[in-house]
């Protein structure tokens, strides 16, 4: 089947400069930097990047693409983290099912996914997740490093991973965390941060910065600099126009917008001389009201700008629709639709400073308002290219979503595919116990094997190179020896775990031999009986070599796996209907 062929091709393609996705590298290429497992922020299967081998797609292929893209978009919007786990798990299950669909019952699969798996997942995560009583910087940074390190579209170096991880935590702690629990917002609004993309030759990721205020990627007006001889304007009253301020209205009726149609027609019928008189009258009113800055989303005619400057009023035009709402929110001004209407007291806002800042030789306008009740922050995201800047913003936004989830539900689970592996073992053990005897009655073993096999393949694939996150083989062994139950949570006692790389850049079905395994981290857990809390530490045997802490956000990971099961269930229903 062509769809299976294309999906398999996706599994084996290398990660190129334009974002082709790789899941598993070829053995003879495992030493190359090009070959590694990926945790793409948009999901491991980003179907916008997938080009199928034929222009004519079957109905089943179209349904498949639309379904998984719809689920992926919804998942990333709600949870931000682990879209890669969702995308890959869905497609692994789909491939395994299609390869041997005659031996699987859709009824049994649907029954498992709808009635059995959700309950077992709740039980598993309740027992496996570790509560985080205090969100330390170490924990937040480690989770962020995993997020940034896993993105192979950006291809960040270890230094840039540290830079972007620190910036992610700084944004979260300064902007969102202070609002946690407030009456207005649970943990800050999405538009509390304005992301500004700056890219080009010579610009690097480490130039990215968080600033209080509004940075606009537009040059400081030359006409203002030439008249005021200053690049810093402080403590001024401001009004904001959402439409152009023109002496001669547009000749075409199509150029009018709904908001200022009546005002522009009035100006047009009054004649140019009367229009100029009206502008002079308004400028005098502004001066009397103490207004010293006029900001406009669109154009201000040059004669009007000169007239404003003559009266010590600074015009700033072409702010654009992208920034205008932030300017209004920052200054507290009410938007004005036309110069025809006299201003009201509520239309006037306040600005602490307007200045020019230079970023890698580029001029940007910087607005601040220290008295604003609703604080506005700007994040300047710097990258070498436009495509990387888009991905940079996407990863940063999803990172903030994930951190919000961690604060609202402070639990973590073992990362690097460990949770997926343990979940598969838990499903296997529960099906063997068969307390309700439903498995023996309905003969659900084969369908459950499909689910557990998919989770095991996902666990292997998530593991990256030896210098990054690894499968915790010793974690599993310790759980077996201590509790005889793979799903048991960490026990209230001191116990050291040795982390070894079980899977590396090999095919999905191959494993690293014992001779190739080496110690990379020590994972220890301590239980404080006084506070009834657990503390865990991860140390590297080689202190000069940094390692990532192997932690995942419990709720986000759980939702990623649950979304994959739901998506697979929908795919089964949709493709079955398509064939009929």
Under 8 Å between Cβ of 369 and 250:
no
Using pLDDT thresholds of 50, 70 and 90, give the confidence band for residue 181. low
Q: Are 77 and 543 in contact (CB under 8 A)?
A: no
Least confident segment among 24-33, 216-225, 550-559 = 24-33
Reduced to 3 states (helix: H, G, I; strand: E, B; else coil), residue 276 is helix
Contact present, 378 and 193 (Cβ < 8 Å) = yes
Mean pLDDT of 15-20: 29
- Quote the pLDDT of residue 249: 55
CA angle 454, 459, 465 (to 5 degrees): 140
Beta-carbon contacts of 380 under 8 Å, excluding residues fewer than 6 positions away, are 196, 198, 207, 208, 209, 210, 211, 215, 359, 364
Q: Give the containing element (helix H, strand E) for 250.
A: none
Residues contacting residue 45 through CB under 8 Å, at least 6 positions apart: 10, 21, 68, 72, 87, 88, 90, 91
Please answer whether residues 205 and 164 qualify as being in contact, where contact means their C-beta atoms are separated by less than 8 angstroms: yes
Residue 533's CB is within 10 A of a number of other CB atoms, namely 15
Mean pLDDT of 529-558: 56
297, burial (CB in 10 Å: exposed 0-12, middle 13-18, buried 19+): buried
- 252 CB burial (10 A radius; 0-12, 13-18, 19+): exposed
Per the CB < 8 A criterion, the answer to whether 221 and 317 are in contact is yes
Question: In whole angstroms, how far apart are CA 457 and each of 61, 96, 246, 480, 508?
Answer: 23, 11, 64, 21, 6
Q: CA 255, CA 9: separation in Å to the nearest integer?
A: 50
Q: Which of 289-293, 499-503, 551-555 has the highest mean pLDDT?
A: 289-293
556 alpha carbon, distance to own chain's centre: 12
Considering the entire predicted model, what is its pTM? 0.64
- Please, are residues 354 and 369 in contact by the beta-carbon 8 Å criterion? no
What's the whole-number average pLDDT of the chain? 68
Q: In sequence order, which residues have a C-beta less than 8 Å from that of residue 162 and are 6 or more positions away?
A: 145
In the block, tokens 């600033």 appear at 211
Least confident of 1-15, 42-56, 498-512: 498-512
Q: Give the Cα separation of 260 and 560 in Å (integer).
A: 47
CA 108, distance to chain mean position in Å, is 36
The answer to whether 384 and 393 have CB atoms below 8 angstroms apart is no
Residue 529 pLDDT exceeds 80? no
Q: Give the closest residue to 147 by CA, choosing from 422, 563, 553.
A: 553
Lowest mean pLDDT among 379-383, 508-512, 566-570: 508-512
Q: Is the pLDDT of residue 577 over 60?
A: no
Could you give the dihedral angle defined by the CA atoms of residues 559, 562, 563 and 566, in that order, rounded to the nearest 10 degrees?
-160
Full DSSP string of 60-129? HHHHHHHHHHHHHHHHHHHH-S-HHHHHHHHHHHHHHHHHTGGGS-HHHHHHIIIIIHHHHHHHHHHHH-
Residue 56 or 22, more confident = 56
Buried b (16+ CB within 10 A) or exposed e, 490-503: beeeeeebbbbbbb
Strand-pair category, 551-553 with 411-414: antiparallel
For position 60, what pLDDT does the model report?
A: 72
pLDDT for res 121: 93
Pull the structure tokens for residue 390.
């888009």
pLDDT at 174 over 60: yes
For the chain, give the percent of residues with pLDDT over 70: 60
Secondary structure element (H or E) that encloses residue 330, with its range: helix 321-331
pLDDT at 372: 62
DSSP element (H, E) containing 499 = strand 495-499
Domains, the chain = 2-132+412-579 (1.10.560), 137-213+384-409 (no CATH), 214-374 (3.50.7.10)
- Asked if residue 518 has pLDDT above 50, the reply is no
Contact between 200 and 286 under an 8 Å Cβ cutoff? The reply is: no
Q: What separation in angstroms does the CA of 189 have from each of 5, 177, 182, 186, 454?
A: 43, 11, 11, 8, 37
The DSSP bridge pattern shows strands 335-336 and 232-241 to be parallel
Q: What is the pLDDT of residues 382-399, one digit of tens each?
A: 888 887 888 888 888 888
Max CA-CA distance within the chain? Answer: 92
- CA-to-CA dists, residue 298 to 268, 418, 513, angstroms: 19, 54, 65
The tens digit of pLDDT for each residue in 278-336 reads 888 888 888 888 888 888 888 888 888 888 888 888 888 888 777 888 888 888 888 88
Torsion of CA 505, 509, 515, 519, to 10 degrees: 60
Residue 101 has pLDDT above 70, yes or no: yes
Is the Cβ–Cβ distance between 239 and 349 less than 8 Å?
Answer: yes
Give the tens place of pLDDT for each residue, 461-482.
665 433 333 334 444 444 444 4
Spatial neighbors of 78 by CB under 8 A, at least 6 apart, are: 401, 559
Of 518 and 422, more confident: 422
Distance between CA atoms of residues 89 and 564, nearest Å? 6
Residue 86 token pair:
């969702």
């Amino acid at each position: 089947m062509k769809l299976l062929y294309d999906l398999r091709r996706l599994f084996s393609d290398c990660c190129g400069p334009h974002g082709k996705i790789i899941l598993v590298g070829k053995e003879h290429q495992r030493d190359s930097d090009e070959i590694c497992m990926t945790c793409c922020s948009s999901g491991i299967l980003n179907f916008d990047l997938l080009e199928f081998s034929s222009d004519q797609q079957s109905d089943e292929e179209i349904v498949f693409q639309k379904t998984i893209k719809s689920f992926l978009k919804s998942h990333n919007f709600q949870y931000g983290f682990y879209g890669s786990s969702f995308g890959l798990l869905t497609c692994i299950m789909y491939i395994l099912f299609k390869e041997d669909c005659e031996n699987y019952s859709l009824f049994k699969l649907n029954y498992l996914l709808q009635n059995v798996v959700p309950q077992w997942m709740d039980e598993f995560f309740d027992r496996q997740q570790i509560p985080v009583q205090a969100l330390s910087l170490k924990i937040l940074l480690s989770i962020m490093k995993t997020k940034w390190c896993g993105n192979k579209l950006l291809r960040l170096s270890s230094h840039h991973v540290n830079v972007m991880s620190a910036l992610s935590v700084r944004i979260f702690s300064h902007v969102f965390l202070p609002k946690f629990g407030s009456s207005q917002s649970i943990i800050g609004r999405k538009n509390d941060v304005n992301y500004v993309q700056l890219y080009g030759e010579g610009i690097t990721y480490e130039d990215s910065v968080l600033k209080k205020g509004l940075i606009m990627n537009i040059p400081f007006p030359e006409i203002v600099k030439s008249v005021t001889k200053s690049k810093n304007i402080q403590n001024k009253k401001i009004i904001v126009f959402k439409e152009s301020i023109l002496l001669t209205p547009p000749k075409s009726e199509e150029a009018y917008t709904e908001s200022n149609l009546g005002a522009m027609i009035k100006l047009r019928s009054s004649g140019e001389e009367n229009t100029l008189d009206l502008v002079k009258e308004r400028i005098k009113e502004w001066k009397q009201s103490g207004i010293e800055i006029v900001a406009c989303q669109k154009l201000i005619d040059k004669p009007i700008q000169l007239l404003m400057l003559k009266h010590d009023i600074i015009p700033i035009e072409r702010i654009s629709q992208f920034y205008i709402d932030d300017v209004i929110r920052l200054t507290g001004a009410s938007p004005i639709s036309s110069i025809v209407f006299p201003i009201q007291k509520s239309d006037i806002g306040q600005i602490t400073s307007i200045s020019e800042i230079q970023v890698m030789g580029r001029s940007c306008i910087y607005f601040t308002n220290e008295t604003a009740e609703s604080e506005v922050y700007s994040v300047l995201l710097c990258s070498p290219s436009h495509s990387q800047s888009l991905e940079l913003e996407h990863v940063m936004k999803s990172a903030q979503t994930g951190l919000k989830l961690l604060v609202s539900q402070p639990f973590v689970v073992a990362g690097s595919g460990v949770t997926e592996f343990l979940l598969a073992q838990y499903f296997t053990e529960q099906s063997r116990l068969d307390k309700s005897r439903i498995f023996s009655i309905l003969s659900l073993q084969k369908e459950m094997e499909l689910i557990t096999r998919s989770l095991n393949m996902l666990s292997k694939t998530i593991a990256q190179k030896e210098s990054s996150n690894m499968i915790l083989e010793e974690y599993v062994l310790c759980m077996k020896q201590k509790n005889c139950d793979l799903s048991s949570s960490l026990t209230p006692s001191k116990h050291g775990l040795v982390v070894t790389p079980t899977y590396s850049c090999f095919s999905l079905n191959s494993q690293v031999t014992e001779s190739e395994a080496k110690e990379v981290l020590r994972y220890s857990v301590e239980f404080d009986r006084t506070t009834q809390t657990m503390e865990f530490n991860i140390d590297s045997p080689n202190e000069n070599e940094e390692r990532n802490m192997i932690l995942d956000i419990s709720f986000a990971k759980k939702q990623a796996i649950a979304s994959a099961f739901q998506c697979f269930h929908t795919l089964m229903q949709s493709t079955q209907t398509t064939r009929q």
